[in-house]
Structure 1
Amino acid sequence: YKPPLYTYLVVPSVAVFGLNDFAVRFPSAFLGVLAVLFAYLMVKELLEENSKETTDRLARRSPALPDAGGTRSKLIALLSAFFLAISPWHLQFSRVAFETNSATFWSVLGTWAFLKGVKSQNRQIAYWFSLAAVSFGANLFMYHNARVFIPIYSLALLILFRNFLARNKKYLIIPFTITLLFIALLIPIITSISGQLRYKGTTIFADVSPQFRTSSLIAQDQEAGQELVGRIFHNRRLIYVPILIENYLSHFRPTYLFLTADMERHHAPQIGLLYLWDLPFIAAGIYFLVKNKFPKSTKVIIFWWFLIAPVASSVTWGVPHSLRSEIYLPTYQIFAAVGFITLYGVVRRKKIFLVTSTVVLAFNFLFYLHQYYVHMPHDFSKAWLYGRKQAAEFTEFVKGKYDQVIVSTKLEQPHEFWLYYLKYDPAKYLEEGGTVSGGFLEDRNKFDKYLFKPIEYEKQKQEAKTLFVGLPKEFPPGVNVLKQIKYLNGEPAIYIVGDE
């Protein structure tokens, strides 16, 4: 169900820090920090491709900046990294254990290594391309979106640098072998029934209602005597194309990017995925990258990355989806950095431009921090499934008085929370049967006295002396509520019901 790499990365963290929230989140935060560093190195390599032409152009555009050497490329790279470091999108997913954030790191690292490879000679080519192959290959086991993004993205790199690769084939044996190894490991997974569960659970192609609508339209065409035309225009093989296009384009909506984002767990209140401050500089950066004489390879890599980033998310429901498309980063930050540096070079009142931009950015960033630390816990605690820890600890404290504890599956895969917060011995759990994977409403999971299933209160309370844990709406009026857990906004979250 979940790609395994992040789990493996958590193992040494738990070994060092113990089983706690910090240990689980540390690898994501650490790779998020490394992504900033390698974003700088990657952008620097991108802009230094044919760097003389680039820096000469920038020197004409930005005469106020220090020198006409590599300084401007370094400034753009530095700004790109800085914008990534303070990005709401990047910070939101770096600070929790979301695999997609780590996938961004591997993409950036792989691109940097590949660019270093095409500038190297002899055995250094094999070294850098091997690092790129490991990075891209590891990404396939980090998050599902990378399994779509990496092959398409890598194809562009291979085509773009095909002449260089053809001249240095003898140094590609090891990188090629590494690539084949990762592919060989991946194919059995994605072709297995269990490996396809996630795809089938999220893809728009699992929804057959568009095909039913097509059949209805074809029937209408038959009645009108235009059966052939109907079968062409309403072909079931094409019915999903408009949906795919709409899903793809939804990821570029300004309101989604700069104002609302998507679900509550993916952003702070009143904050989008990007700052409003970013908008003019992103627009300017896209314009200058297209119009000015940046190296062809630079343009192709950045824009290809940018355009294919939402492809994986586009075949799923619930779009636009910031988690499934976070692999956009750091393209938006590169656009903003190019726009900022180039605009700084062409405006007349540079001090006013710099001071105004800094003040507005600082306001945006401080407002984000305020919303994140003050209002998000209060407003969005329900989205973050608040209360599971308190419920698990309370049930463990009183379970000795009961024959069994039934925890409602409406608490969203609660067995994971109880196992984690109670630090239940994994070996013992496996001896008792382990996890039964049958979807979000699987009702066969159990360990110790805990049963995870839908609550049928009147029936189940007769079977044994039972402690119940569930949503308030799952219980009839007048039950004996031993403990009520509330969300941080005061709304009732969880009832723990017993007969004491």
Structure 2
Amino acid sequence: ADRRYEAVLIGMPDIVSKAFSNKLTYVAKTFVNNYLSYLSPNFFFTQGAGEATYGMISGRGVLYTFEIFFQVICLYSFIKGRKFKGIKFFLFWILIALIPAALTKSTGYAANRVAIMMPSIQIISAYGAIILVEYITKSIHNKLVKNISYIGILFVLIISVTTFFEDYIYHAPIHSAGSMSFGTREVVKYISSIEEKYEEIRVSRTLSVPQIWFAFYKHWDPKDYQKYSKDWIVYEQKGYSYIDQYDGYRLGKYIFGHLDMNTLIRSENILIVGKPSEFLPKISVQKTIYYPNGSPAYFIVAP
């Protein structure tokens, strides 16, 4: 719509502008951009997943950097005529695996949506590794050089795996804490220890489908859970796409939805759980749940 308006503003007839800027051209452009983004070196080896929601590390390629050599070796050998069992199938697998992800509205790099292609990627990398090892074995006759080559490859593998685990264990928990809903277990554990003191516990939807966290960590009886969930289906009748968009659905004394602080802050015998940004300044906080980096994740407040 913006491009069409810009063209008309500069002087292009509206009917002509519509031919260049319409739903079809928008969908086609988005599809092509998304599709190619998943085939880019940035996605595979440097940038990686665009979000950490599914436990992936943003800013780190979905493949080890050294695998680029295996990929190139395999594809080069294939182009030069070397026969690989099933290689055409694996390449086709990669190309069609990207289609569902490319059709979404996201800007690409949603790694979870293209995870289906990873087996074929790994097989192609393995082909490349085999070719490299075969070359060293058959073409390098100097034993010292051959051994140095093997040790060099092993060294690169060990360093790559070690740096990944260092990143995953010691850095990802800090950088990905918010995306991975860190702190929900601590919230449920603390509230469970004091819930008998309150008639009602209001939980913000910012915990992301908060009823799941309470049901899981409190080991909620499935029969009791299903009894309450029958009333939740009304969210569809109200035109919402997700249950946590609906305000006021219950699970026992827990009520989930939007936190209207101007009203809740005057309530009695109530406990409120939400993110710091949802509360009024200088509010008295009963308990703060922190992210691994020390910043507050959730406030628990009793007005």
* TM-score (norm. length: structure 2): 0.85
CA distance in 2, matches of 1:341, 1:217: 54
Q: Is the 8 A contact 1:481 1:498 kept in 2?
A: yes
CA distance in 2, matches of 1:374, 1:236: 45
Matched residue of 2:247: which SS? coil
> Which amino acid letter does the alignment assign opposite residue 298 of structure 1?
G
Matched residue of 2:112: which SS? coil
Structure 1 position 220, deviation (Å) = 5.5
Match of 2:26 in 1: 239
Structure 1 position 464, deviation (Å) = 4.3
Match of 2:212 in 1: 416
User: Which of 173, 176, 179 is equivalent to 1:383?
Assistant: 179
The reply to whether residue 320 of structure 1 matches residue 116 of structure 2 is: no
> Which amino acid letter does the alignment assign opposite residue 378 of structure 1?
I
Over 3 Å counting, the alpha-carbon distance change for 1:272 and 1:231 in structure 2 is closer
Q: What value does the CA root-mean-square deviation take over the aligned residues?
A: 2.4
* 1:4-23 equivalent positions in 2, closer than 5 A: none
User: Which of 332, 343, 350 is equivalent to 2:132?
Assistant: 343
Structure 1 position 475, deviation (Å) = 1.1
Structure 1 position 230, deviation (Å) = 4.0
Structure 1 position 235, deviation (Å) = 4.5
Structure 1 position 257, deviation (Å) = 1.7
Over 3 Å counting, the alpha-carbon distance change for 1:342 and 1:391 in structure 2 is same
Say which is worse superposed, 444-453 or 428-437, in terms of deviation.
428-437
Match of 1:453 in 2: 257
Matched residue of 1:248: which SS? helix
Paired positions, count: 285
Say which is worse superposed, 276-285 or 366-375, in terms of deviation.
366-375
Structure 1 position 345, deviation (Å) = 2.6
CA distance in 2, matches of 1:224, 1:215: 9
Match of 2:119 in 1: 330
Q: Is the 8 A contact 1:344 1:350 kept in 2?
A: no
The reply to whether residue 248 of structure 1 matches residue 35 of structure 2 is: yes
> Which amino acid letter does the alignment assign opposite residue 247 of structure 2?
D
Structure 1 position 283, deviation (Å) = 1.2
Matched residue of 2:245: which SS? coil
* TM-score (norm. length: structure 1): 0.53
Matched residue of 1:467: which SS? strand
Over 3 Å counting, the alpha-carbon distance change for 1:424 and 1:367 in structure 2 is same
Over 3 Å counting, the alpha-carbon distance change for 1:387 and 1:225 in structure 2 is closer
CA distance in 2, matches of 1:230, 1:268: 42
* 1:11-50 equivalent positions in 2, closer than 5 A: none
The reply to whether residue 476 of structure 1 matches residue 280 of structure 2 is: yes
CA distance in 1, matches of 2:72, 2:247: 50
Over 3 Å counting, the alpha-carbon distance change for 1:239 and 1:371 in structure 2 is closer
Q: Is the 8 A contact 1:484 1:495 kept in 2?
A: yes
> Runs in 1 of length 4+ with deviation above 4 angstroms?
217-221, 223-226
Match of 1:466 in 2: 270
Structure 1 position 418, deviation (Å) = 1.0
Match of 1:288 in 2: 77
Match of 2:246 in 1: 442
CA distance in 2, matches of 1:239, 1:319: 15
User: Which of 331, 338, 362 is equivalent to 2:158?
Assistant: 362
> Which amino acid letter does the alignment assign opposite residue 291 of structure 1?
K
The reply to whether residue 404 of structure 1 matches residue 200 of structure 2 is: yes
Match of 1:279 in 2: 68
Over 3 Å counting, the alpha-carbon distance change for 1:225 and 1:406 in structure 2 is closer
Q: Is the 8 A contact 2:87 2:124 kept in 1?
A: no
CA offsets per residue over residues 197-219 of structure 1, 9 Å max, x none?
xxxxxxxxxxxxxxx23653674
> Which amino acid letter does the alignment assign opposite residue 94 of structure 2?
F
Over 3 Å counting, the alpha-carbon distance change for 1:267 and 1:225 in structure 2 is closer
Over 3 Å counting, the alpha-carbon distance change for 1:231 and 1:425 in structure 2 is same
Runs of 5+ unmatched residues, structure 2? none
Over 3 Å counting, the alpha-carbon distance change for 1:232 and 1:384 in structure 2 is closer
User: Which of 34, 44, 52 is equivalent to 1:264?
Assistant: 52
CA distance in 2, matches of 1:396, 1:246: 48
Matched residue of 1:485: which SS? strand
Q: Is the 8 A contact 1:410 1:441 kept in 2?
A: no
Q: Is the 8 A contact 2:35 2:98 kept in 1?
A: yes
CA distance in 2, matches of 1:374, 1:235: 47
Runs of 5+ unmatched residues, structure 1? 1-211
Structure with the higher fraction of residues in helix conformation:
1
Over 3 Å counting, the alpha-carbon distance change for 1:290 and 1:492 in structure 2 is same
User: Which of 123, 148, 155 is equivalent to 1:352?
Assistant: 148
Q: Percent identity?
A: 24
CA distance in 2, matches of 1:359, 1:306: 29
Structure 1 position 462, deviation (Å) = 3.1
Structure 1 position 361, deviation (Å) = 0.6
Over 3 Å counting, the alpha-carbon distance change for 1:260 and 1:238 in structure 2 is closer
Matched residue of 2:111: which SS? coil
Structure 1 position 335, deviation (Å) = 1.8
CA distance in 2, matches of 1:216, 1:269: 36
Structure 1 position 225, deviation (Å) = 5.3
Matched residue of 1:323: which SS? helix
Q: Is the 8 A contact 1:244 1:315 kept in 2?
A: yes
CA distance in 2, matches of 1:412, 1:216: 38
The reply to whether residue 307 of structure 1 matches residue 95 of structure 2 is: yes
Say which is worse superposed, 361-370 or 286-295, in terms of deviation.
286-295
Structure 1 position 463, deviation (Å) = 4.4
CA distance in 2, matches of 1:254, 1:354: 26
